[in-house]
Every structure is written in structure tokens, then in C-alpha cells.
Structure 1
Amino acid sequence: MHKDKLGNIIYVGKAISLRNRVRQYFQSSKNMAPKVRSMVSQIAEFEYITAGSEMEALILECNLIKKYRPKYNILLRDDKTYPYIKITNEDYPRVIKTRIVKKDGGKYFGPYSDAGAVNKIVDLLNSSFALKRCSAASFPEGFRPCLNYHINQCRGICTGEVDRAAYAESVEGAREFLNGRNRPIIARLEKLMGEAAERLEYEDAAMYRDYIEAAKALSATQRVVIQHSKDIDIVIPARGTEETHMVLFFVRDGKLVGRESYEMEASSEEDSRELTAAFINQHYSRLPNFPKEILLTQLPAEKELLEEYLSELAGHNVKLTKPQKGEKKALVDMAYRDVLEMVKTIDERAANARERRRNLGAEIFSILKEMGKVSGEYDGREFRTESYDISNTNGVDTVGAMVVFNGLKPDKSSYRKFRIRTVYGQDDYKSMREVLTRRFNRVFQGDQAFEVLPDIIFMDGGKGHVSTALEVIDATGFDIPVVGMVKDDRHRTRALIYRREGSDEYDEIPLRGKPMLFRYIGRMQEEVHRFAIEYHRSLRNRSASRSVLDDIPGIGKTRKAALLEHFKSVDAIKSVDVDSLKDVEGMNLRAAEAVWHYFHKNEQ
């Protein structure tokens, strides 16, 4: 592991001979790639771990890269936001949407990039096959079925009258659909859509239409590509002028059923075989299952080692193959042509994003220039911005939120939440003062999560909010520009307001003629408002779910739930004696006496 002078791990690698591997970095640099030269210039120390075998070293390298995400390694960008569809491993399996993959015996399908389509498909499958929707694993005697049962959207597992074999057959139907065999359901939906339209029931027809579109979005048009039905993945690198992606094609039962692309953090000098090896190592190590064969356009140098590693993960033999002829070669060629077209789209998208970034940067630069904070001409840099908001309900559970944007993109890993500690009641200015004070104090405390300062702060308010922010910033000694967002009658930001340098006077900068900045500010306002409200709601819901029983020693969540289920209310619990409390499931004499004494201590 290579470390810089701050002790940060900047590269993780493995080798049979570490001496030879390290020595090559400190020979003549004229033949080195720019990335390697840059890395070598930052190496301050080494740390190494001795592994028992090449396989152990490969697994360790994979885990360390995931943990530290060194900037000079090829990195698979985290796809945790992509949803999966899961068939749970239960007596009566459910079809649910999830973003977390576990080795729990469930069957996962995905990941999918279209979250909206996933939601519709989960709803469609649950409705079409009348599957269990609730997460309850068991039902007490006398349990009453929920609304889904009464409107024929669930068979009523809770009634105990559902035939398990018939239910398993329905689950298998859902599994077949998710494996790409969706024509029967689509045909039925098209028929229902036509019938609804004939009856002039256009809302129902539109619902069926949305289901059909979701099914097609989730599973690409089925094309038979292999005569003998097989499950295969195809992995192909896609290099654009600015971005590098790995494209993964899914072939199930001999049919091409989908494609996903994964952005890679890699330099332009990286060899395609290294890219492929890094992707396979990082991507498949977090999947619960995958096919027995992966087709490639370039075989990695450590092919045999990767095959052994993947086989161990999957529990069956996995082969990495570069086909030379036949139907598999034709399949890879078809996928490769698709990737070439995709690269054109990637380049166009990158060019558009580059232009938008530059336009936004130029507009922010013009604001800073008008404020007297910068001079000269715009050099193309991107600006880091922060925005803050306060949320409460009638002064209760007041919270603050901070969101961060780097250029056009929100930097969600830098978002921060603050629970207001010193302000009671509704006072936005005092609450904002506390939030900003705590934010900048963390810088002086050496907290790395707060050490990067913004180029400019956007306050969701006018003069009062700008003045409050500047009071805090001036006290810290930092020089950070602050602007307020002035709204019109429609609650849209019409201008930015700032305080003149060395004066108590304020000036406005109209946003007319700055369309990029106008949209950017609107997005930032929505994001900070959303983040603050979500945190406030989570605190409010947590407070609402509290009970006086939480204050009684020895009464945890399980006993509290048992008492409330048995007696139905806290008043009823107060009115009973110790013996009645002790008879409740999960209670004992000591816990029963604690409850009784808590409610009757004043009488004693």
C-alpha cells in the first residue's frame, strides 16, 4: 500500500515479488505513464501485508480497494443507488424492490437503472400473481386480513388457508417474467388495455399502458442469440474522450435480456485488460450469484486466478472466455457494435456536460467578480458551493441542513445534518447562527469531514440570513463570499443579494440573463429543502413513536409492544395489578413490579 505524506493510502497493489514491483517505480521515469509519475511523486511511505497465496492476495487487494478507494487505482463507481428486484427466501416468498444485496438465499434480479420501471414491475407482479405483500413472517390466531386481501390483491396468507404448492407456482411465474420470459403477461396487459379503452375507462387503460412500458424498459426486446439456452454475461470496455465505462450485457436462456453500464474512475492510459480485470474483481465480488461463463473482448493477464476466485464466490465453475468463432463470437461482435454506438452517446453527453459546467462556472465567476472577490478572466474552474436551510414544526424538533455542490453535481457524501441544541422556539436566525458556528468550529477541531471550505455560500433567505452568516464567518477569520436568494411573489428566486465589502449596504444581482445559474439555484434550493425536511420528519416520527413505557427500567421494545398489544392503551396498563402485568407474554415479576411502581409511585 502506497501512502502520501498525510498517511492517506493512494494505491493498493499486489505482486509475487514486492521488491521488483516497488523498484520499477523508482527507475527512469521517461517511459512511465503520466499517472504513474504523478503517483510516484506523492509516495512518502509503504506498508505491506504478506498473504498466504495469490488467491488470498487477490481477495485482500479487492477488499482494500473497496475500503480505501485509493485515487490511483482503477475504481468501479459505487452503484448502490441502482435497485434490484428480489424474490425473498421465505415460506411464502415476496417480490420486493431493494438496493441492498445480501447472501440470504433470496433471488436477485438487476441492478436496473430505471427505478420507476422497477416500482411498476413490482406492483404488476404482486397484482398479477396475488402475492404476499406484508413482511410479517407469522400471524397470531384471530389475525384479521388487511385491505389487500379484501380487494383481491393478496390471497390472504394470514388466513392460513392458502395452498403452498399453488402459491409456489405463482412465484415461479413471477420468476419466469424476471428471467425475460415476459410475452404472456405483456399480451394479457395489451388485451386488458384494449378492453378498457373500448369501455372508455381511459385511466385503467393508461395504467395497463404504463405496465407494458415498464416491462419493456426492464427487459430489452428478446432476441434469440444462442441456439443452446445458456446464461452468459458479456463484459466490454467503452472508452469515451472523457469518460470510461464498463458495459455488461445479460444473456439469459440464450436471449439478450438487458444491458447496464458502469462508470469507472480510470485514466486514459489504463490498458483495456487491466480495466476488465478491475471491473470483474470489484463487480462480481458483491453479487450473490452470476452465470458460469463471462465473454470478453480482452482476456486479463490473471485469467486463471480470476476464474478460481469467481468460482469460489459463485459455488460453481466460472470461465472467462474470448470467443474466436461461432455464435458466441457473433454475440460478442453484436454487443461490441452496440458499445461503439454507446461511446458516441457518452462523448456527446460529456461534451454537453462540459459546456454546462463551463457556463455555470462563468456565471458564478461573474457574481464573485461583481462582489469584488475575484478579478481577471474566468479560467474554466468549477466552484464548490454550500447552501443551508432550517426546518421545524412550530419551533419543535428544529434542525439544520447543509448541502454541497461541486460544479453541477451534488456532493452527497459532504451533506451534513444538525439538530439544534441552543435555540428554543422558532428563530431561524439564531438556529442558522448555531449551524454555521458548529460547521466552522469543526474545521478548527481538525474534523476532515468539514475541512474543505466552499468558494461561495448560498443562503435560502435575504439580508437577515446573509448578515447572520457573515457574522459567524467574520468571527472565524475566513473570507467566504455569502449571497442570499431573494424570492418573487411566486416563491422563485429572482435575484441574489450580498453585502458590499467594508459596508453595511446591500446590492442585488438580478438572475435575468443567467439561465444556467437560475436553474442551478432552483435545484440547490429544492435539494437543501428536501434534505432538511426529511431529517426533521425522521426526528418527528421518532418522537411520535415514543411512549411513557420507554422511561421504565427493564421495558424494552419487545415488552412495550407486548403490553400495548395485550392491554391496547397506556391507561389500561395503569389500571391493572402486578399479577395481570406479569401474565403478559415476555414479562416477569420484576418487570411487572417496575411498571406498576412507575405508575403508582405518587400514591405510595
Structure 2
Amino acid sequence: MHLADLPPLPEAPGVYQWWKGSSVIYVGKAKSLKARVSSYFHGEGKALTIASEADRLEFIVTRDEVEALLLEANLIKLHRPRYNVLMKDDKHYPFLKLTNEPYPILLIVRRVDNDGARYWGPFPDGGAVRRIKRLIDRIFPIRKNSGVPLKKRRYPCLNFSMGRCLAPCIGQADPAAYREMVRQVEQVLDGKVSELLGDLELKMRQAARNQDFERAAEIRDQMEAVRSFFGTVQQAYDPELGDLDFLGLARAGRYAIVQLYQVRGGQMLGRNSRFIEDVEEASDQELLWAFLRDYYLEATPLPPLVLLPSEVEDMGALSQFLSSRAGKKVEVRIPQRGDKTRLLELAEKNARTALETEMRLLERKGDHPGLVALKDVLGLSVRPYRIEGYDISNLFGESPVASITVFEGGRPKKAEYRRMKIKTDSKSPDDYLALEQAIYRRFTGSLSASMAVPDLLLIDGGLGQVRAAQKGLERAGIQIPLVGLAKREETLILPNGRSIELPLTHPALQLLIFQRDETHNNGLQFHRKLRSQKALKSVFDNIPGIGPKRKEALLAQFSTLEELKAMDAERLAKLPGMDKRSAEAVLKALSQVG
């Protein structure tokens, strides 16, 4: 593209997109669209490469730079352009959500909604967020289930009997006491641990003075649990530091890492780290900006101060954007002296250590040729490391199940294989609907909190299955690249309908075939087990002397007809709930099944 080919550009703030064919190759923002876009033809390096490669330019005028910043971030997440700096770990990290209800519940979720709830996150370490939730569930008796919004029950759950819930579901909870518990949970999640411990100590002493020693002991146990947990994850600093975030950056060759540390109430609360590849042509300013853009688009709550190791473009607009998100003034600053410069030195040191660790891990894992090839074949922005495979298995529409496999670094991770029963009201098979349901449930249900977000989805099937999977992702509000593998021709299918044919010896195709077959076999095994259990249940239905209790006892002991047939009458009679007569009746019925 040449300068003369540009459309008339206004001297106004906005966002511009360089296109090549049907793909966006770069998204940028500008105070003046005319000045910024024109500069691409007078520059050098990456800017000139982008302008030369693009065949058209589109732009959107915004009201101000803050609106341009937000639009740029959303468009980059949507298109993931090849020439933008993209975070390898830019995924839907989990958040903690305290619902907006009279009796709130704490949940692990994958996205932030404008629903009046309070959110904390994102947490890049899924294990850490689950440990925090388990701690809170254990020591604060707020409700753990009973639905969102709260659903009334006839009887309380086991948590009430264990003293871990005030049972608002049966109207047992005192509203004031529940509000106090919620306030304490918020203190923990806001990092105000010292303040919480001070409040708890006052309440413990008051309970002791009132000779309510049982209550005093409960509060003491709460305090010990909080100290024990946060004593292992926090490091004390000067309390005068207050609440702030500070960043560190390290780079080596084609790799870089950006880390953000949270200080709340003068204590280190957490760290968020992003690893970036192919950064040879990116400046420190671009790397920091990419992190800030992606992280603060969702992060909550925000501190009043953010410390950067070096200047980034449009710091004023960034400060305005953060202030609008926080609902209060947020300052972005580069400290020149004092304790805050030492924080940045600490961040840089830790970032260098983390980068060295990441590079050693890459060396240990090696570069799997299939993953290297997949990045180029599918035009992905980063090399995929974690791939999830999906397949639907059924027999004439009976007992449909979804199979999920996980490969990391080109190798099966069998501990994370999953199987899912598909809920259906229809007797006729509908693999498309089943696949859409499986994908939606995977990324919105309990698996979304317990499993990492993959870099790529592999769908066993053609264009229909691929588009059904895409629909499931859209319903879940998540964007992940996906590819289908049609069985007969072993052709790769993309959501836009494009097909890619590769020779059978191609490393990318060999890897996908391996995982596709693993996924198919995983589903078939589960499906056979379900059918066998169903057959087992039907055998027991008409056997004299085998009532509901004996039937359940037998089903608890055996999962297939073959296992039961291998028993003799004497051993079968000794099982719980059985006797010699019923054992003989069961074996006689089995002999007639064949």
C-alpha cells in the first residue's frame, strides 16, 4: 500500500486497522489519525513493513484518547493481529466474585459482568484462587451453595451442621451477622489483613469478657487460619506505601516477561506475570503498553497508584482510563527516588529470574515439530502449547457423551482427560447441539475453574461441528482458536469455512490425528461403560428377590455384566445385602442374557 492509497484521514483521535485480505494485521490508536498513519510511510522497521504489506486501511474516530485506548484493546482481543504485541498468557483468567444479593455468595468466575457484584482478579494462578476460596469457605460461614440468586430450601445443607454456613436458605441467618461476615471477606480480598485481624482480636476479647469462651475460641481459630495462610504469601513493606501496583520488565533475545505486583495496605498481595515471544522488534514501551492494555481492561479493584519502570505512550490517557474504571483518581508514575524505586528494582530482579526459569523450561520441553508447524499452518499469533480435543460419542442417539482430551507440549496429559454426559430431551442424535453444549459447559461450569484455558481447540469433525463449537465459545463469551479434523480426508477445517490439506507426513497433521484418535477412544470407553451399566440395571429389574436396595448394592460393586458373570454363587452371596438364594437368582438371570 502507498501513501497515495490512504483514505482521507481526520486530525482527530481514533483507532486504525491495517488489513491484508480478510485479516487484520495491526491495530493502533492515535491522538491524530492523520499524523499517526502518515508516519508509517516515513518510518522504518516494523512500521514500514506493516504499511507495505497491508492492502487497505480502516479507521474509527473516537471522542477522546481514553475511548480510543479501550477500543484498541477490544479490537486487538477480537482480531489478535500478527504485528501487535500479544501476551502468550492472555487468557480468561479466573476472578473471585461476591454476588450482589442480600446474602452474597463467593464464586470463581471467568469474566466480569456489570451486575453490581464485587470482583477481585484476574488470578493467573488457578490453584491460588482456589486455595483462597477454600480458606474463606472454611473460616467464614457465608453460604457455599443454594444457587444464584439464593433459592429457599426445606432443610439446610451439611455446611450448616458443620458450622460453616449461617443457613440463609432456610431463613436461619441473622442479616446483621451475615453482613459482618461479608465485610470480613471483603477485607481479606482487599488485602486489609492487619485491619481484619485487629477487628477480630477486639471481638475475641469482648467475647472472653462476656465469658462466651466458645465464641472466643472460634474467633481465635479464624485469626490463626488467616495468619497462617497470608503469612506464606505476603511480604511486609512500609505500611505508608498504602495501595499500589508496580511493574517489572525483563527480556532476552526473542523472549520477554512483564510482571505486576500488588501492594495493599503496605503488604505484597499477589503477582501477575505474562510471558511474551517474538519480541525482537518490539520496544520496551510496546511491551509495557501491551501488558497494561490487556491487564487493566479487566483487573479489579484498582489501586490509586501504578508505578512503571519506564515511560509509555499516552500516560495521561492511561491515567484517565484507569481512573474511569476505578471510579477514583489513579496516578501513573515513574518514581525517581526513595522506597518506590526500590520496589521497581525488586520487580526487575524477579522478572529476570522468572524469564530465566521460563527459558530453561522451554529448553527442557523442546520445540515439538507439530506445534511449531501448527502456528504457521493455522496462522496463530503464538505457538500453541496446550490443546484440548473434543468428540461426541453416541449409539443411535442413546447415552450421548462428550470426550475431552488435553495435550501439552505435544504429549497427552491423561490426568486431565474428562468425560461429560450430554443432557438431551430428544431421542434422535444431534451431534452439533451436543458439541455446542459440551463447549459451553466446559467454559462456564465447574471445569472452567479447575482447568487451564487452552491455546487451541481440536474438534473431531467437519465444518458443521466446527461451527457448533464456535457457537458454544460465543455463548460462553470466550475466544479461543479452533480447528476441525475431518476423518475421511484428514483435512483441517477452520470456522470461516476454509479447508487446509496437508500431506499425511506433515508434523502438524500427525499431531492432530494422534490427539483426535485419543479423544475418540476416550469417548468410546465412557460410552461403553454407560451402556454396560444401563444393561446391568435392566437385568436386575425382573429378578425375583432383587429389590431396590439389593439392586443399588450390586451396582455399587459392579460396573459391567462381565464383572458380575465372573462371580460364583458362593462369593456373590457374601456381598453386602445378598444371600445364597438371591445370588443364585442373579446368576440364573445372567445366564439367560448371553
Is TM (by shorter chain) over 0.5? yes
The within-5 A match list for 1:282-293 is 282-293=294-305
Residue aligning to 1:592: none
Question: Structure 1's 70 and 94: CA in aligned 2 closer, same or farther, altered over 3 A?
Answer: same
Q: Secondary structure at the match of 1:86?
A: strand
Letter in 1 for 2:398: V
Deviations along 1:391-429, one digit per CA (max 9) or x if unpaired, are 3368625578798979638975442255999xxxxxxxx
Which residue among 208, 230, 234 is the counterpart of 2:246? 234
Across the two proteins, how many residue pairs are aligned to each other?
Answer: 420
How far, CA to CA, are the matches of 1:309 and 1:151 in structure 2?
Answer: 46
Letter in 1 for 2:175: R
Which residue among 488, 496, 504 is the counterpart of 1:448? 496
Residue aligning to 2:181: 170
Length-normalised TM-score, structure 1? 0.58
Q: Secondary structure at the match of 2:144?
A: coil
Residue aligning to 2:422: none
How far, CA to CA, are the matches of 1:315 and 1:419 in structure 2?
Answer: 47
- The alpha-carbon deviation at position 293 of structure 1 amounts to 0.5
Asked if residue 335 in structure 1 is aligned to residue 347 in structure 2, the reply is yes
Which residue among 352, 363, 372 is the counterpart of 1:351? 363
Residue aligning to 1:396: 398
Residue aligning to 1:13: 28
How far, CA to CA, are the matches of 2:181 and 2:384 in structure 1?
Answer: 53
Contact 1:222 1:257 survives alignment (8 Å): yes
How far, CA to CA, are the matches of 1:360 and 1:163 in structure 2?
Answer: 56
The within-5 A match list for 1:157-306 is 157-180=168-191, 216=229, 221-228=233-240, 230-264=242-276, 267-306=279-318
How far, CA to CA, are the matches of 1:279 and 1:535 in structure 2?
Answer: 44
Question: Structure 1's 182 and 38: CA in aligned 2 closer, same or farther, altered over 3 A?
Answer: same
Residue aligning to 1:87: 98
Question: Structure 1's 289 and 103: CA in aligned 2 closer, same or farther, altered over 3 A?
Answer: farther
How far, CA to CA, are the matches of 2:89 and 2:370 in structure 1?
Answer: 28
Residue aligning to 1:44: 55
Letter in 1 for 2:341: K
How far, CA to CA, are the matches of 1:420 and 1:167 in structure 2?
Answer: 51
Question: Structure 1's 330 and 42: CA in aligned 2 closer, same or farther, altered over 3 A?
Answer: same
Which residue among 98, 105, 119 is the counterpart of 2:116? 105
Letter in 2 for 1:290: L
Length-normalised TM-score, structure 2? 0.59
- The alpha-carbon deviation at position 337 of structure 1 amounts to 1.9
Contact 1:299 1:320 survives alignment (8 Å): no
How far, CA to CA, are the matches of 1:173 and 1:155 in structure 2?
Answer: 15
Letter in 1 for 2:22: G
- The alpha-carbon deviation at position 231 of structure 1 amounts to 0.9
Residue aligning to 1:126: 137
Which residue among 427, 432, 436 is the counterpart of 2:487? 436
Residue aligning to 1:518: none
How far, CA to CA, are the matches of 1:536 and 1:13 in structure 2?
Answer: 53
Bigger relative contact order (CA 8 A; separation at least 6) = 2
- The alpha-carbon deviation at position 310 of structure 1 amounts to 1.4
- The alpha-carbon deviation at position 162 of structure 1 amounts to 1.6
Question: Structure 1's 19 and 256: CA in aligned 2 closer, same or farther, altered over 3 A?
Answer: same
- The alpha-carbon deviation at position 256 of structure 1 amounts to 1.1
How far, CA to CA, are the matches of 1:39 and 1:536 in structure 2?
Answer: 54
How far, CA to CA, are the matches of 2:387 and 2:185 in structure 1?
Answer: 46
Residue aligning to 1:22: 37
Question: Structure 1's 11 and 79: CA in aligned 2 closer, same or farther, altered over 3 A?
Answer: closer
Question: Structure 1's 59 and 48: CA in aligned 2 closer, same or farther, altered over 3 A?
Answer: same
Asked if residue 307 in structure 1 is aligned to residue 319 in structure 2, the reply is yes
- The alpha-carbon deviation at position 99 of structure 1 amounts to 1.9
Which residue among 127, 149, 154 is the counterpart of 1:116? 127
- The alpha-carbon deviation at position 175 of structure 1 amounts to 2.9
Contact 2:258 2:275 survives alignment (8 Å): yes
Question: Structure 1's 525 and 213: CA in aligned 2 closer, same or farther, altered over 3 A?
Answer: farther
Contact 2:103 2:150 survives alignment (8 Å): no
- The alpha-carbon deviation at position 222 of structure 1 amounts to 2.7
Residue aligning to 2:479: none
How far, CA to CA, are the matches of 2:63 and 2:499 in structure 1?
Answer: 40
How far, CA to CA, are the matches of 2:66 and 2:77 in structure 1?
Answer: 17
Letter in 2 for 1:253: G
- The alpha-carbon deviation at position 70 of structure 1 amounts to 1.2
- The alpha-carbon deviation at position 37 of structure 1 amounts to 4.6
Deviations along 1:280-308, one digit per CA (max 9) or x if unpaired, are 22221223431110011012131111111
Question: Structure 1's 288 and 437: CA in aligned 2 closer, same or farther, altered over 3 A?
Answer: same
- The alpha-carbon deviation at position 43 of structure 1 amounts to 0.8
- The alpha-carbon deviation at position 361 of structure 1 amounts to 8.3
How far, CA to CA, are the matches of 1:215 and 1:129 in structure 2?
Answer: 15
- The alpha-carbon deviation at position 136 of structure 1 amounts to 4.8
How far, CA to CA, are the matches of 1:214 and 1:532 in structure 2?
Answer: 49
* Structure 2: gaps spanning 5 or more residues: 1-15, 201-220, 375-382, 413-453, 465-484, 531-594
Question: Structure 1's 449 and 537: CA in aligned 2 closer, same or farther, altered over 3 A?
Answer: farther
How far, CA to CA, are the matches of 2:249 and 2:406 in structure 1?
Answer: 32
- The alpha-carbon deviation at position 233 of structure 1 amounts to 0.6
Q: Which of 404-413 and 344-353 deviates more? A: 404-413
Question: Structure 1's 221 and 158: CA in aligned 2 closer, same or farther, altered over 3 A?
Answer: closer
Deviations along 1:112-136, one digit per CA (max 9) or x if unpaired, are 3332343343233223222211225
Q: Secondary structure at the match of 2:368?
A: helix
Contact 2:389 2:458 survives alignment (8 Å): no
Letter in 1 for 2:313: A
Question: Structure 1's 276 and 450: CA in aligned 2 closer, same or farther, altered over 3 A?
Answer: same
Residue aligning to 1:416: 459
Deviations along 1:169-206, one digit per CA (max 9) or x if unpaired, are 22233333334466999xx9xxxxxxxxxxxxxxxxxx
- The alpha-carbon deviation at position 321 of structure 1 amounts to 0.9
Deviations along 1:460-487, one digit per CA (max 9) or x if unpaired, are xxxxxxxxxxxxxxxxxxx9987999xx
Letter in 2 for 1:415: L
- The alpha-carbon deviation at position 279 of structure 1 amounts to 2.0
Q: Secondary structure at the match of 1:48?
A: strand
- The alpha-carbon deviation at position 435 of structure 1 amounts to 5.6
Question: Structure 1's 36 and 418: CA in aligned 2 closer, same or farther, altered over 3 A?
Answer: same
Which residue among 46, 66, 70 is the counterpart of 2:77? 66
How far, CA to CA, are the matches of 2:261 and 2:105 in structure 1?
Answer: 27
Q: Secondary structure at the match of 1:343?
A: helix
Letter in 2 for 1:24: S
Question: Structure 1's 101 and 530: CA in aligned 2 closer, same or farther, altered over 3 A?
Answer: farther
Identity of counterpart residues, as a percentage? 30
How far, CA to CA, are the matches of 1:162 and 1:179 in structure 2?
Answer: 25
Letter in 1 for 2:273: S
Contact 2:250 2:348 survives alignment (8 Å): no
